Amino acid sequence: MYRVKLQDFEGPLDLLLFFIKCDELDIYNIPIASLAKEFLEYVRLMEVLDLDVAGEFIVMACDLMKIKVRMLLPASEGEEEETEDPRADLIRRLLEYKKYKELAGDLSRSERKQSRVFYRQNFQRDPRLAPVEDDSTLLRNVTIFDLMSAFKRALDQMPKKTVHEVQRAPVTIEEMAEHVLRSLNERPRLTFLEIVAGMTERIRIVVTFVALLELIKTGMIELQQEEVFGEIWVARASGCAALPQFEEMGYAG
């Protein structure tokens, strides 16, 4: 399959916080059943994409199922008031991690602000090239989970009826990357759903998603999101007037 490694890939607590924020849930009163269902759906998506995911996602899935089972079990007589909420430990971990993430975000913003003021003047590079940006900048405020949410919507919108199709050669990352680049040369930005519009094969959507991740890593495209949980736009990276052919970028897959 197509294995993709992302720098600073978000962990299971990030995914849970993503659901809590996206679904506007009360972090102190988490609906474990629905949260566990959503979490497992995303873990399956990661397996479909063959993302380089740590085993901690599987551990968290098991923890969620254990909490769900404990909440379904009736409390023994006299223990109802003394027994701690099965979700308590998870809530503590989420609150602690949320606080850490917010602090890290503040430090990151402060660092970016300082970098605009203090910079190295002895560093020279070709002014014709777009500014070098790391993965986190190219992703803007979009997380991998936002992108996976768009990927899930694309799969959900596929025709449900079974259609007899003539067997063809397997689609490649290179082919779908070329498709993305051609599309962005025609229009400066597109949504993921627009990029995969008309695709009726699940494998083509999967490989297009993987190709998108690879293109982000090359620095030629970026993702934009104008509002939290809003539509995700795929666009040329800042400073790129036109995009080259994928093979011209020296890709070695």
Q: Across all residues in the chain, what is the average pLDDT?
A: 76
Least confident of 32-46, 57-71, 189-203, 227-241: 227-241
Whether the CB-CB separation of 238 and 222 falls below 8 Å is answered with: yes
Q: For the chain, which domains are there?
A: 1-124 (no CATH), 131-253 (1.10.10.580)
Choose between 164 and 188: higher pLDDT.
188
Least confident of 22-31, 150-159, 162-171, 234-243: 162-171
Whether the pLDDT of residue 143 is over 90: the answer is: no
Give residue 87's Cα distance to chain centre.
Answer: 26
What per-residue confidence (pLDDT) applies to 43? 86
Give residue 121's Cα distance to chain centre.
Answer: 35
- From the number of C-beta atoms within 10 Å of its C-beta (0-12, 13-18, 19+), residue 217 rates as middle
What per-residue confidence (pLDDT) applies to 75? 67
What per-residue confidence (pLDDT) applies to 66? 94
What per-residue confidence (pLDDT) applies to 227? 76
Average pLDDT over residues 130-159: 68
The span from the CA of 113 to the CA of 107, in Å, is 10
**Helices and strands (H and E) in the chain: how many:** 9, 3
The span from the CA of 170 to the CA of 135, in Å, is 29
Q: How confident is the model at residue 76 (pLDDT cuts 50, 70, 90)?
A: low
The span from the CA of 183 to the CA of 195, in Å, is 7
What per-residue confidence (pLDDT) applies to 93? 95
Burial 125-136 (b: 16+ CB within 10 A, else e): eeeeeeeeeeee
Whether the pLDDT of residue 243 is over 60: the answer is: no
Choose between 249 and 113: higher pLDDT.
113
What per-residue confidence (pLDDT) applies to 180? 92
For 228-241, how does the pLDDT look when each residue is reduced to its tens digit (9 = 90+)? 777 888 988 876 65
What per-residue confidence (pLDDT) applies to 214? 87
For 5-45, how does the pLDDT look when each residue is reduced to its tens digit (9 = 90+)? 444 457 899 999 999 988 899 999 999 999 999 999 888 88
What per-residue confidence (pLDDT) applies to 179? 92
Whether the pLDDT of residue 184 is over 60: the answer is: yes
Whether the pLDDT of residue 133 is over 80: the answer is: no
Most confident stretch, 46-55, 56-65, 87-96, 200-209: 87-96
